[in-house]
């Protein structure tokens, strides 16, 4: 049981390039999330999903897209990378049950140059 797995761990992109950050969970959780964390700051919600086929915007969705075709996977797409997207990206998953909290992946550190 790996929990939440993110790939890649590190990536350097040039301005204007595109990439997909992968997130997979093996806990059969319905809820999945993407956050970004800028240096010295808390986490900001980018997008989230409450189940396969359902996604919604968070606080900072501009410049990103998501899809949720299966319960297990929740990829985050950057179409035209900008320096402002340099950050650490975290994926998280949660069961719908009240008594359980969030499980986070180990993060993807992205630098746009």
Partner 1 sequence: KQEVTQIPAALSVPEGENLVLNCSFTDSAIYNLQWFRQDPGKGLTSLLLIQSSQREQTSGRLNASLDKSSGRSTLYIAASQPGDSATYLCAVIETSGSRLTFGEGTQLTVNP
Tokens in use for 44?
């900001």
107 binds partner 1 (CB under 8 A): yes
Counting residues that bind partner 1 (by CB under 8 A) gives 26
Q: Which of 50, 52, 63, 72 binds partner 1 (CB under 8 A)?
A: 50
105 binds partner 1 (CB under 8 A): yes
99 binds partner 1 (CB under 8 A): yes
Please identify, among the stretches 21-29, 67-75, 77-85, 103-111, the one whose residues bind partner 1 according to the rule CB under 8 A: 103-111
């Amino acid at each position: 049981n790996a929990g939440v797995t993110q790939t890649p761990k590190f990536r350097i992109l040039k301005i204007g390039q595109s990439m997909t950050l992968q997130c997979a969970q093996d806990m059969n959780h319905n809820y999945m999330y993407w956050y970004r964390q800028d240096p010295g700051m808390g986490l900001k919600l980018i997008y989230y999903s409450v189940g396969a086929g359902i996604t919604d915007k968070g606080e900072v969705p501009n410049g990103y897209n998501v899809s949720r075709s299966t319960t297990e996977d929740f990829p985050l797409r950057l179409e035209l990378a900008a320096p402002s997207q340099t950050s650490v990206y975290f994926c998280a998953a949660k069961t719908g049950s009240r008594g359980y909290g969030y499980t986070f992946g180990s993060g993807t550190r992205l630098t746009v140059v």
